[in-house]
Amino acid sequence: MNPIDLAARNLELAKRTEFLATQARIEAEHELISLLPTKDEGSVTMKGNDYKVSITYGYNRTVDEAALSAVKDEIATDLFDQVINYKPSLSITGLRYMQSNQPGAYALLAQVITSKPAKPSVRIEAIPQDLAAAA
């Protein structure tokens, strides 16, 4: 077996192991959750003989930006600003355009941008054996 196939097989095996471990963890979490009282939001803590267990309940909330625009003017600005945060985010396409076409503006903006390498994405795909033999 060549080194690429060996490394790909090892990755495939690790991903399967990781999937099974994740499933086992989720099942164990559900078992614990079923043993403690529930609440809409907040945490519940109980102690066994060997472990102290805390479960936190809550809601993930999102905002429909189009609908928000329709009601924004009907809410007092100070109240609105207490509830809604706007976080600047980058448009990579726009940033690359600026870098290529507006170097002065890019140099100014680059002072407030932090860049760090992303984790490389690895994808493996098994080659059907009849195609592998033909290659």
pLDDT of 56-95, one tens digit each?
A: 999 999 999 999 999 999 999 999 999 999 889 999 999 9
CA distance linking residue 86 with residue 112, whole number of Å: 17
CA distance linking residue 44 with residue 33, whole number of Å: 10
Domain count, the chain: 1
Q: Which helix (H) or strand (E) holds 41?
A: none
Inside any domain, residue 15: yes
Task: Give CA separation, 131 vs 3, 27, 75, 124, in Å.
Answer: 19, 39, 64, 16
Instruction: Confirm whether pTM is higher than 0.85.
Output: no
Inside any domain, residue 82: no
Owning domain of residue 40: 1-61
Inside any domain, residue 25: yes
Name the token pair of 3. Answer: 């080194």
